[in-house]
Structure 1
Amino acid sequence: MELPLGTGTVEASFPDCDVTVADPPGGEAVDPHAAAERAVADPHGPSLAERVAPGDDVAVVVTDVTRATPDDALLDVLLDELRDGGVDRTDVTVVIGLGLHRPMDDGEIRAALGEHADLAVNHDADAAVEVGRVDGCPVELHPAVADADRVVSTGMVEPHQYAGFSGGAKTVVIGAGGEPLIRHTHGPDMLARDGVRLGRVDGNPFRETLDRAGDVAGVDFSLNVTHGPSGILDAAAGDHRAVVRDLAATARAALSVPVADEYDAVVAGVGAPKDANLYQATRAATYVALGDRNPLRDGGRIVVPAELPEGAGQGTGERRFYDRLLGASGAAELYDAMREGYDPGAQRAFVVARVLRDHDVYVTNSESPAVVEECLMHAREGVADAVDPGSDVLVVPDALNTLLVRP
């Protein structure tokens, strides 16, 4: 069968294995631009044009290269709506919500934003300024966002290990935010709390903290989309909480696969843009093992085909992730040590260590096998090299967009 690898695919065969494929319903793809227009015309709450006034400085926070969001189409619609509200294009700043990821280069910005690339600036978490507090933690923002009269965001509402689903206020308060809130929300105390789980929005302390931080940050209007294997499934606009809940329901219906059996191996597909580095690609392993339903038997393994042209990753968070895994003698020891705390970005090492205590992770077909081996995981040339003959195998072709759930 074909599995995603980078922007293409790789052939995978499983001789003498009993293979089950987890294919979610997928939903029906829509045109992103048309869906965004419909959402902005019928938002949750007042329209964007009603929320702005001529002369307002508007900051639009968009996603970075780690999200497959059609930000060019969403910006088209948002800028048209802002113009209808009297806001000139020259009064709009587009901030790329990097969080602690690496900056996007000029070519990547042009590819992501098209004709609107000239409005864009990369976020720098070190330059963020405080605008208020949530749970005693400073909420910091990019200066252009902090100083704006109105704050707007795009986003991708997709399964997220901690927030349940991404998008909404997260694009602003994490993507264009500073280290204090990232440290607070991604620390071991938060990630160990009940309700902080893939696919859960209601009763999720992580999500609730982001939403309250979004109120402090003054997120006025969100335009988000959700997607499945077939493409973009829907868009929603307006109040950031309502937008996430609206699209999470759509995504959950399209992406859930009930799993009753247990397996010796799960092969978890990733593909671009998430398999650019190990930091992002390990989401496939943690989504499988730390979701609603872990389908692995005791001692079962997870196999992730991933190109990894950037190695472990190039941003601050990615470097911290790599350093933690590189310096560890074992997964259990690393997990216990990180329960005492860690720098923002290193949380991915924490959740990977949590998985590695119970399951081996094999990364195949990569350009960076040495990095994989340095990070307590196993590198193999191909998928078949990582699966023992005679195994019961569950193949999840799109692991980041599949919710494995209890029947």
Structure 2
Amino acid sequence: MSPEPIALSYGRGHLPVRLPPGSVGHVIRKQPLPKLADPAAALAAVLADPIGSRPLAELARDRKSACILVCDITRPVPNRLFLRPMIEVMIASGIPLAEISILVATGLHRPNLGDELAELIGDPWVLEHVRIVNHDARDDAAHVDLGYTPVRRTPVKIDRLFAEADLRIATGLVEPHFMAGWSGGRKVIAPGVAHHETIRTFHSARFMEDPLAVQCNLIGNPLHEEQLEIVRMLGEVYAVNTVLDEDRDLVCITFGEIIASHQSAVDFVSAATQVPLDRRFSTVVTSSAGYPLDKTYYQTIKGMVTPLDILAPGGTLIIASECSEGFGSPEFRDAQARLVALGPDRFLATLTARRLAEIDEWQTEMQLKPMRLGEVALFTTGLAGESRRLTGVTLIDDVDAAIARSVARSGDPHVAVIPEGPYVVPRFAP
């Protein structure tokens, strides 16, 4: 009798995979965290008793305007839970509805419009009554120039709508991030609503190649340190931080001063997210965490980088990602074309001398990490033709068969399977 299939997160559902006979499966998941029984009550509690600040009702008093940052469609943040209650508190405290804005922190991604924006906001009342703007990192006039960070001299230009608001609140999801350590909090500001020069500076090779710029690490991480400097230069900023479980249910929500409230959420989820293992594997099977993170190949690379600590040198990393929206931006496509044409070493050499990274080439640079360690095999139903070639990795049509080939080639029967992809960080801890 064949073993029960393991369900990988894939698109809006799951992809069943079966391990070959004689193999030993190691399914790696986050430690279970208790779901919040009443998310609305939990939100009300943190708004009334925040971390490192006064309650929202007091913060909003005597303010003339407010701007709330929300992540773009690539993050499954439960905006429907907190946007309207926060806005209603602001209105009750005296901020005119017309002076409250929501700014979509797109970074250098495309804008979210139409049905996609409605899905992102999650609340028809908010969509109808509140001004919603997509950040445009390429619009010079839409940014305020705050100068340079003191040590690394990163130019700091931030969206004017946010920088000039009386009350500034970032919202987001706290999850492992393969460069900045953890997402959410300060990251929603930069790169979220930063100018392209700011983004391209701290996505340059001198940051990306730093060994401390990795998932779940904030200590000495140059990206995190620059983000903190940018927050300090901005001044007074607050944040709502959320943590979700594998079912996308809320397990934690914090509110307060942006750095302290973000750190509190990180402290809550860190131990549950990082999973220690006493061995490395010649076959690692993972996902891009399903929708919405696996909408593009661009985002898929996060899932390739996160499990590298447990991939044995020369092993095979098998990743499933729907790529329902295709490849990614034209700039990312150009970077991948250069990678395929030049090869990894020559491609990296073109990056290291530059002060500013080209837009979206940093994701291609991150793909070099798994390519240096072993073979990357991709299963996707969303890419065709030239897009498949430009991935620069091995394309497979059958995950089960790819696992069997890898086990047979390596002689190692142990297979690591990470159903939730980059939302789980396995660590080699002998």
TM-score for the superposition, normalised by structure 2:
0.88
Of 118, 129, 133 in structure 2, the residue corresponding to residue 121 of structure 1 is 133
Of 377, 390, 393 in structure 1, the residue corresponding to residue 393 of structure 2 is 377
Equivalent residue runs for 1:177-192 within 5 Å: 177-192=194-209
1:369 Cα shift? 4.4
Of 333, 339, 353 in structure 1, the residue corresponding to residue 352 of structure 2 is 339
* 2:179 alignment partner, SS class: coil
Summarize deviations over 1:17-51 as a string: whole Å, max 9, x none. 32211122131222443332222111112223322
Tell me the amino acid that sits aligned with residue 265 of structure 2: L
* Contact 2:244–2:251 (8 Å) recurs in 1: yes
Q: Percent identity?
A: 23
Q: Which residue of structure 1 lines up, in the alignment, with residue 66 of structure 2?
A: 58
* 2:40 alignment partner, SS class: helix
* Separation in structure 2 between the aligned mates of residue 353 and residue 200 of structure 1, nearest angstrom: 20
Of 262, 270, 273 in structure 2, the residue corresponding to residue 255 of structure 1 is 273
Of 99, 105, 114 in structure 2, the residue corresponding to residue 91 of structure 1 is 99
* Contact 2:67–2:103 (8 Å) recurs in 1: yes
1:213 Cα shift? 0.4
Q: Which residue of structure 2 lines up, in the alignment, with residue 33 of structure 1?
A: 40
* 1:125 alignment partner, SS class: coil
* Contact 1:65–1:104 (8 Å) recurs in 2: yes
The answer as to 2:256 corresponding to 1:238 is yes
Summarize deviations over 1:100-120 as a string: whole Å, max 9, x none. 111112111112212212421
The answer as to 2:150 corresponding to 1:138 is no
Q: Which residue of structure 2 lines up, in the alignment, with residue 5 of structure 1?
A: 10
RMSD in angstroms over aligned alpha carbons? 1.8
* 2:359 alignment partner, SS class: coil
* Contact 1:140–1:173 (8 Å) recurs in 2: no
Question: 1:369–1:20: structure 2 CA closer, same or farther, 3 Å change rule?
Answer: farther
* Separation in structure 2 between the aligned mates of residue 403 and residue 213 of structure 1, nearest angstrom: 27
* Contact 2:323–2:383 (8 Å) recurs in 1: yes
Summarize deviations over 1:304-330 as a string: whole Å, max 9, x none. 1111122211xxxx3322211112232
1:194 Cα shift? 4.3
1:400 Cα shift? 1.7
* 2:103 alignment partner, SS class: strand
Tell me the amino acid that sits aligned with residue 268 of structure 2: T
Q: Which residue of structure 1 lines up, in the alignment, with residue 332 of structure 2?
A: 321
* 2:388 alignment partner, SS class: helix
* Contact 1:62–1:97 (8 Å) recurs in 2: yes
1:186 Cα shift? 1.2
Q: Which residue of structure 2 lines up, in the alignment, with residue 405 of structure 1?
A: 427
Question: 1:32–1:179: structure 2 CA closer, same or farther, 3 Å change rule?
Answer: farther
1:344 Cα shift? 3.5
Q: Which residue of structure 2 lines up, in the alignment, with residue 394 of structure 1?
A: 416
* Separation in structure 1 between the aligned mates of residue 353 and residue 245 of structure 2, nearest angstrom: 37
Tell me the amino acid that sits aligned with residue 350 of structure 1: E
* Contact 1:125–1:178 (8 Å) recurs in 2: yes
Question: 1:374–1:178: structure 2 CA closer, same or farther, 3 Å change rule?
Answer: same
Rg larger for = 2
* 1:108 alignment partner, SS class: helix
* Separation in structure 2 between the aligned mates of residue 335 and residue 219 of structure 1, nearest angstrom: 39
Tell me the amino acid that sits aligned with residue 88 of structure 2: D
* Separation in structure 2 between the aligned mates of residue 186 and residue 162 of structure 1, nearest angstrom: 9
* Contact 1:300–1:359 (8 Å) recurs in 2: yes
* 2:326 alignment partner, SS class: coil
Question: 1:393–1:372: structure 2 CA closer, same or farther, 3 Å change rule?
Answer: farther
**Length, aligned pairs only:** 399
1:393 Cα shift? 1.3
* Contact 1:236–1:246 (8 Å) recurs in 2: yes
Summarize deviations over 1:77-128 as a string: whole Å, max 9, x none. 3213312421122210101000011111211111221221242111111223
* Separation in structure 2 between the aligned mates of residue 72 and residue 89 of structure 1, nearest angstrom: 18
* Separation in structure 2 between the aligned mates of residue 191 and residue 22 of structure 1, nearest angstrom: 27
1:3 Cα shift? 1.2
* Separation in structure 2 between the aligned mates of residue 77 and residue 201 of structure 1, nearest angstrom: 31
Q: Which residue of structure 2 lines up, in the alignment, with residue 365 of structure 1?
A: 380
Equivalent residue runs for 1:282-361 within 5 Å: 282-289=301-308, 294-313=309-328, 318-328=329-339, 329-341=342-354, 342-361=357-376
* Separation in structure 2 between the aligned mates of residue 369 and residue 19 of structure 1, nearest angstrom: 31
1:245 Cα shift? 0.9
* Separation in structure 2 between the aligned mates of residue 365 and residue 162 of structure 1, nearest angstrom: 24
Q: Which residue of structure 2 lines up, in the alignment, with residue 24 of structure 1?
A: 30
Summarize deviations over 1:364-403 as a string: whole Å, max 9, x none. 1322044233221121112113221444310011122112
Summarize deviations over 1:335-363 as a string: whole Å, max 9, x none. 23322333132111111113212222111
Deviating more after overlay: 271-280 vs 166-175: 166-175
